[in-house]
């Protein structure tokens, strides 16, 4: 009998220790102390013992009952204090952590900021296909197929005169085919040119171009609009200057410099001691372009401009190698949160 008492007590303590919750513990209480429980059963056997054993074992059994009952109470309190969590449950005592947050690509950010400067002046954003035809990429833009200037517009051809657009201008042509002036649009997008890749060249880059057409649009409007743009994008102190240039689709044409936003025009390593950074090309739309989209002759005038977003992003963020934009290196991208 004494052996049994010891075995039952050891088993009860063992099982209670590993009871995972209050319900498991209640079941154990019934198993040991319930009406048909193991301890109760032993108590029932007392009557069959000899007269001298009865009092001693009876005392032992009662003491066992009290001890097991006490142990239940203790384990119950312990479970209430710290519920035992399943093995795969999160450790609630660990410190919290922030989920990593993504960020916009520096080029996306640059393009969005350029566009918002123009949206603020009432421009509308339009986008178009990257696969184009010779008509939209060249002919309609006054770039004759047999003209030497085509060399300056070296292009990836695909098949049957399809090509990867070498500027976003084809979309302005498409827009004019369906819309009547007046309008002000900006056209962002990827463009492709078969350049050898190095720190400042890529076979794919990003342009933002603009086109404004109406009945009395002048070069003064062009100057005012681009002046507003550089002040809004580069800061109120930014100035612009125009240098004569040539593009087949504009006449007259100009290149535009912005006063260096690093040195304020004094001359530094970013602007090559010149105090000016070249950021834009522009001009008054060539009459042949209006002719190609069948606008009535002489009715409209307009100005157009174009800029390379990759170059502007490099200037703005002090990036010295264009390839960094396209390598998806997180150490680079994470800097533009």
Q: Which chain residues interact with ligand 2U9 by CB under 6 A?
A: 141, 167, 169, 172-173, 207, 209, 211, 247, 249-250, 281-283, 285, 289, 304-308
Taking the complex as a whole, how short is the minimal distance between the CB of residue 335 and ligand 2U9, in angstroms? 24
Coil/strand/helix, residue 264: coil
Coil/strand/helix, residue 147: coil
Taking the complex as a whole, how short is the minimal distance between the CB of residue 90 and ligand 2U9, in angstroms? 51
Question: Which is nearer to ligand 2U9, 56 or 243 (by Cβ)?
Answer: 243
Please give the full DSSP string across 200-250, using - where no structure is assigned: TB-SEEEEEEEEEEESS--HHHHHHHHHHHHHHHH-TT--EEEEEEEETTE
Question: Which is nearer to ligand 2U9, 15 or 130 (by Cβ)?
Answer: 130
Question: Which is nearer to ligand 2U9, 61 or 279 (by Cβ)?
Answer: 279
Taking the complex as a whole, how short is the minimal distance between the CB of residue 171 and ligand 2U9, in angstroms? 8
Cα 38 to its chain centre, rounded Å, is 66
Question: Which is nearer to ligand 2U9, 209 or 257 (by Cβ)?
Answer: 209
- Count the alpha carbons within 13 Å of 270 in the hemisphere toward its beta carbon: 21
Taking the complex as a whole, how short is the minimal distance between the CB of residue 186 and ligand 2U9, in angstroms? 11
Question: Which is nearer to ligand 2U9, 32 or 205 (by Cβ)?
Answer: 205
Cα end-to-end span (Å), the chain:
76
Number of CB atoms found within 10 A of residue 163's CB: 20
Contact 305, 285 (CB under 8 A): no
Residue 216 is encoded by which pair of tokens?
Answer: 């009395």
For 60, phi and psi rounded to 5 degrees?
-55, -50
For 102, phi and psi rounded to 5 degrees?
-80, 180
Taking the complex as a whole, how short is the minimal distance between the CB of residue 164 and ligand 2U9, in angstroms? 15
Task: Give dist(CA 235, CA 229) in Å, integer.
Answer: 9
Cα 169 to its chain centre, rounded Å, is 28
Question: Which is nearer to ligand 2U9, 8 or 312 (by Cβ)?
Answer: 312
Taking the complex as a whole, how short is the minimal distance between the CB of residue 279 and ligand 2U9, in angstroms? 8
Taking the complex as a whole, how short is the minimal distance between the CB of residue 89 and ligand 2U9, in angstroms? 56
Task: Give dist(CA 62, CA 52) in Å, integer.
Answer: 17
Decide: residue 239, CB within 10 A, 0-12 exposed, 13-18 middle, 19+ buried: middle
Nearest one of 185, 209, 208 to 121, comparing CA atoms: 185
Contact 145, 84 (CB under 8 A): no
Question: Which is nearer to ligand 2U9, 114 or 307 (by Cβ)?
Answer: 307
Question: Which is nearer to ligand 2U9, 54 or 243 (by Cβ)?
Answer: 243
| Nearest-CB residue for ligand 2U9 | 281
Taking the complex as a whole, how short is the minimal distance between the CB of residue 316 and ligand 2U9, in angstroms? 15
Taking the complex as a whole, how short is the minimal distance between the CB of residue 306 and ligand 2U9, in angstroms? 3
Question: Which is nearer to ligand 2U9, 68 or 289 (by Cβ)?
Answer: 289
């Amino acid at each position: 009998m004494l052996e049994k008492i010891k075995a039952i007590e050891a088993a009860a303590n063992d099982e209670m220790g590993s009871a995972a919750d209050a319900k498991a513990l209640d079941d154990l209480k019934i198993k040991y102390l319930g009406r048909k429980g193991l301890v109760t059963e032993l108590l029932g056997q007392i009557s069959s013992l000899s007269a001298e054993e009865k009092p001693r074992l009876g005392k032992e059994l009662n003491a066992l009952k009290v001890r097991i009952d006490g142990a239940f109470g203790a384990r119950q309190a312990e479970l209430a204090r710290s519920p035992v969590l399943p093995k795969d449950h999160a450790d609630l005592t660990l410190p919290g952590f922030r989920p990593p947050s993504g960020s916009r690509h520096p080029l996306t950010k640059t393009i969005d900021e350029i566009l918002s400067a123009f949206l603020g002046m009432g421009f509308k954003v339009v986008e178009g296909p990257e696969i184009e035809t010779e008509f939209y990429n060249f002919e309609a833009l006054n770039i004759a197929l047999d003209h030497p200037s085509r060399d300056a517009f070296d292009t990836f051809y695909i098949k049957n005169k399809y090509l990867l657009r070498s500027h976003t201008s084809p979309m302005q042509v498409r827009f004019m085919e369906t819309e009547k002036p007046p309008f002000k649009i900006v056209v962002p997008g990827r463009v492709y040119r078969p350049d050898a890749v190095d720190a400042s060249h890529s076979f794919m880059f990003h342009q933002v171009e603009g086109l404004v057409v109406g009945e009395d649009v002048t070069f003064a409007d062009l100057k005012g609009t681009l002046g507003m743009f550089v002040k809004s994008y580069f800061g109120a102190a930014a100035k612009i200057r125009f240098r004569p240039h040539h593009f087949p689709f504009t006449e007259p044409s100009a290149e535009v410099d912005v006063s260096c936003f690093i040195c304020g025009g004094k001359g530094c390593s970013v602007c090559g001691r010149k105090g000016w950074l070249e950021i834009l090309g522009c001009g008054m739309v060539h009459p042949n372009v209006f002719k190609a989209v069948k606008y009535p002759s002489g009715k409209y005038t307009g100005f157009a401009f174009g800029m390379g977003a990759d170059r502007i992003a490099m200037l703005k963020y002090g990036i010295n190698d264009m390839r960094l934009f396209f390598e998806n290196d997180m150490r680079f991208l994470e800097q533009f949160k």
